[in-house]
């Protein structure tokens, strides 16, 4: 990932302003340690911190069209850039980078080109012919982006809060799938897929169509000129990404540069479920596997850095971000600059365990829609910023625009969890890759039940965090919580502890407003309670109440092991023996 910062229409073209923009841009240097660039035109500044993944030699930014009248600073990857270049035969390209195509598309098609882009991206484009500018963010918010406004009428765009929070009168999250145009002075949505209206789809489930769509999504993300690998927890999603990557690596440019053997990475406390499961998958796939260990104290010591980089006080996000933050540092130390990751599958397919309680297909589908729309506040934010903190790029094939359209067009009746029919969560995805002749994964891995990342790294991790917060937040402090933090008041000592750290780094009111919360928080507890009132006494933000879902779903009527894989029945006793298994909130 790169870091972008734009100050647009600031009515100040002094040297002092240039120095300030450079100073703020340096706050994003962790996102792009390879090169820095700044373009200054009148009272417009476009700054860039580059992480070089494609065309490291000549792809420095900002980028331009032929006559340098259109300038763009981009964070992300445009996977269909070669195809788009073929549609621009009269344009001359100066670099091999995948992002240069944006300037030429604008020159050819105007603002309406954004939906032509297939990838993850945030960008700011300035047309110096009329000082018109636009900014946009990818469909579901894989890349992070914020927008702010100054008292002088300026508009600020930054990859992270820390790039604009000290200089803007007001700032907020730049919504995914939107474009800001200076002509209208407002945001408008450019991403309007059929599923977004939450209308119930009716396309019959075809496992081969789904399989091909996901394979294509993974393959297109193998576009890289630098060493890369896969994050592998041993769960279904990361294992499928690793399996497909390993199958198709040999025919890629990356294989010619770095070899055909895939590197995989996993993090956990010693003896954690993820480490064991990931090793099993790595052995099956034949990857060069790297295990990274951390202690509870290592994680606690990193919490302040994590909150500074992740820019949230959401409890579940911080719990899961910390191991990923630590792992990313280790991965970068090996010379790897890009990793494939499995975020998004649970939102698209209803993989969280509370989906067992969905009363009908309509409710199931609407909840998956809501989860996808909230991804930019949770898992996308975690994956993007935890890796970017160390100059590492995470690519997420489950959130491919084309793949989402295929998956969200399936009649949700097929996604419903029906243990009596052998259909556990994400059955449609599992079935699509259940190939008897040429297995992608062993059966028991393909049908392994979900493990929450923050628990999978080791069950004592969350308990250690709670114990640490208990030592630093008193009962008296909690009594006054509503007065100290009237917005999104923390209800646990762990939440209060994170909030204190966040407010120290980001004390402005707009900063705290960028973090979701309150009664309508995307935490799934509210929906779970709506579907089953018995959940009302289980309000841990990680959803450790999932224990009840496991028991009710698998004890009442367990299908044969042949349907679910040889070790599915072993799930229940393992869950009973630990504090609980979390589902993503």
Q: Is 91 exposed, middle or buried (0-12, 13-18, 19+ CB in 10 A)?
A: middle
Tell me whether residue 10 is one of the annotated catalytic residues.
Answer: no
Q: Between these two residues, 14 and 451, which has the higher pLDDT value?
A: 14
Tens-digit pLDDT profile for residues 280-311: 999 999 999 999 999 999 999 999 999 999 99
Residue 303 has which token pair?
């919490």
**φ, ψ for residue 251 (rounded to 5)?**
-90, 10
pLDDT score recorded for residue 537: 62
Which residue reads 């120095």 in tokens? 19
pLDDT score recorded for residue 552: 52
Q: What's the rounded mean pLDDT across residues 73-77?
A: 96
The chain-wide mean pLDDT, for the chain, equals 89
Question: Sign of the CA dihedral 113, 115, 118, 121?
Answer: positive
Residue 537 has which token pair?
């006494």
The pLDDT of residue 515 is above 50: yes
Please list the residues that pair with 127 across neighbouring strands. Answer: 70, 132
pLDDT score recorded for residue 175: 98
Q: Confidence class of residue 570 from pLDDT cuts 50, 70 and 90?
A: very low
Please list the residues that pair with 122 across neighbouring strands. Answer: 75, 137
Distance CA 111, CA 133 (A): 10
Q: What is the dihedral of CA 385, 389, 392, 393, to 10 degrees?
A: 20
pLDDT score recorded for residue 536: 65
Distance CA 81, CA 227 (A): 21
Q: What's the rounded mean pLDDT across residues 250-265?
A: 83
Strands (E) in 328-398, as ranges, are 338-340, 393-395
3-state secondary structure string across 172-211: EECCCCEEEECCCCEEEECCCCHHHHCCCCCECCCHHHHH
Report the percentage of the chain scoring pLDDT > 70. Answer: 89
Distances (CA, A) of 362 to 145, 359, 526, 528, 539: 32, 8, 17, 15, 25
pLDDT score recorded for residue 260: 80
The pLDDT of residue 573 is above 80: no
Q: DSSP code of 574? A: H
pLDDT score recorded for residue 539: 53
Q: Confidence class of residue 457 from pLDDT cuts 50, 70 and 90?
A: confident
Nearest alpha carbon to residue 136 among 90, 105, 166: 105
3-state secondary structure of 35: strand
The pLDDT of residue 516 is above 60: yes
Tens-digit pLDDT profile for residues 348-360: 999 998 999 999 9
Distance CA 237, CA 398 (A): 9
Tens-digit pLDDT profile for residues 166-216: 999 999 999 999 999 999 999 999 999 999 988 999 999 999 999 999 999
pLDDT score recorded for residue 50: 94
The pLDDT of residue 439 is above 50: yes
Nearest alpha carbon to residue 466 among 343, 299, 310, 241: 299
3-state secondary structure of 241: helix
Among the ranges given (95-99, 365-369, 555-559), the one the predictor scored with the smallest mean pLDDT: 555-559
Instruction: Specify which of 296-310, 514-528, 550-564 reaches the highest per-range mean pLDDT.
Output: 296-310
Residue 351, marked binder: no
pLDDT score recorded for residue 59: 79
The pLDDT of residue 521 is above 50: no
Strand-pair category, 263-268 with 228-231: parallel
- Within 13 A of 403's CA, how many CA atoms are on the CB side? 26
Is the pTM higher than 0.85? The answer reads yes
Residue 231, marked binder: yes
Distance CA 584, CA 305 (A): 23
pLDDT score recorded for residue 579: 26
Residue 341, marked binder: yes
Q: Confidence class of residue 468 from pLDDT cuts 50, 70 and 90?
A: very high
Residue 126 has which token pair?
């300035």
H-helix or E-strand spanning residue 367: helix 361-374
The pLDDT of residue 578 is above 80: no
pLDDT score recorded for residue 541: 54
The pLDDT of residue 120 is above 50: yes
Within a 10 A sphere around the Cβ of 335, how many other Cβ atoms?
A: 9
Domains of the chain: 3-192 (3.60.20.10), 197-447+459-576 (3.40.50.620)
Distances (CA, A) of 576 to 84, 460, 549: 53, 15, 12
Q: Confidence class of residue 58 from pLDDT cuts 50, 70 and 90?
A: confident
């Amino acid at each position: 990932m790169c870091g972008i910062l734009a100050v647009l229409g600031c009515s100040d073209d002094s040297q002092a302003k240039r120095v300030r923009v450079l100073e703020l841009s340096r706050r994003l240097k962790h996102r792009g340690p390879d090169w820095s660039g700044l373009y200054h035109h009148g009272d417009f500044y476009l700054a860039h911190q580059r992480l070089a993944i494609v065309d490291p030699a000549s792809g420095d930014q900002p980028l331009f069209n032929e006559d340098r009248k259109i300038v763009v600073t981009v964070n992300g990857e445009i996977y269909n850039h070669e195809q788009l270049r073929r549609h621009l035969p009269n344009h001359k390209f100066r670099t091999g980078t995948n992002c240069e195509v944006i300037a030429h598309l604008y020159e050819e098609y105007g603002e309406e080109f954004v939906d032509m882009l297939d990838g993850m991206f945030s960008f700011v484009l300035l047309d110096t012919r009329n000082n018109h500018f636009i900014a946009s963010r990818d469909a579901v918010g894989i890349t992070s982006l914020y927008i702010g406004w100054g008292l002088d009428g300026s508009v600020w765009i930054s990859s992270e809060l820390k790039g604009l929070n000290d200089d803007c009168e007001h700032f907020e999250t730049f919504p995914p799938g939107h474009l800001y145009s200076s002509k209208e002075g407002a945001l408008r949505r450019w991403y309007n897929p059929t599923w977004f209206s939450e209308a119930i789809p009716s396309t019959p489930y075809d496992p081969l169509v789904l399989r091909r769509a996901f394979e294509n999504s993974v393959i297109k993300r193998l576009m890289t000129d630098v060493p890369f690998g896969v994050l592998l927890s041993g769960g279904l999603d990361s294992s499928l990404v690793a399996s497909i990557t390993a199958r198709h690596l040999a025919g890629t440019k990356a294989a010619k540069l770095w070899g055909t053997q895939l590197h995989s990475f996993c993090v956990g406390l010693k003896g954690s479920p993820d480490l064991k499961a990931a090793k099993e998958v790595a052995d099956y796939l034949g990857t060069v596997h790297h295990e990274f260990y951390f202690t509870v104290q290592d994680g606690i010591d990193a919490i302040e850095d994590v909150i500074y980089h992740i820019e949230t006080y959401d409890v579940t996000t911080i719990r899961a971000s910390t191991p990923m933050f630590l792992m990313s540092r280790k991965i970068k130390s090996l010379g790897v600059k890009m990793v494939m990751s499995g975020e998004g599958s649970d939102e698209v397919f209803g993989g969280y365990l509370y989906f067992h309680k969905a009363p009908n297909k309509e409710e199931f589908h609407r909840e998956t829609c809501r989860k996808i729309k909230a991804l930019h506040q949770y898992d996308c934010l975690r994956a993007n910023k935890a890796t970017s903190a160390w100059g590492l790029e995470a690519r997420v094939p489950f959130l491919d625009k084309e793949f989402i359209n295929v998956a969200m067009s399936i009649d949700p009746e097929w996604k419903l969890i029906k243990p009596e029919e052998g259909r556990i969560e994400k059955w449609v995805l599992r079935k699509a890759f259940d190939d008897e002749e040429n297995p992608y994964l062993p059966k028991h891995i393909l049908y392994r039940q979900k493990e929450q990342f923050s628990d999978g790294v080791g069950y004592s991790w969350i308990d250690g965090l709670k114990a640490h917060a208990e030592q630093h937040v008193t009962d008296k402090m909690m009594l006054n919580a509503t007065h100290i933090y009237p917005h999104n008041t923390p209800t646990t000592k762990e939440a209060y502890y994170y909030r204190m750290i966040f407010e120290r780094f980001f004390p402005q009111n707009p900063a705290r407003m960028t973090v979701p919360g309150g009664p309508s928080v995307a935490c799934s507890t509210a929906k779970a309670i709506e579907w089953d009132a018995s959940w009302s006494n289980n309000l841990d933000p990680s959803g450790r109440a999932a224990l009840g879902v496991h028991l009710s779903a698998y004890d009442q009527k367990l299908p044969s092991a042949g349907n679910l894989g040889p070790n599915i029945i072993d799930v229940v006793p393992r869950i009973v023996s630990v504090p609980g298994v979390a589902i993503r909130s």
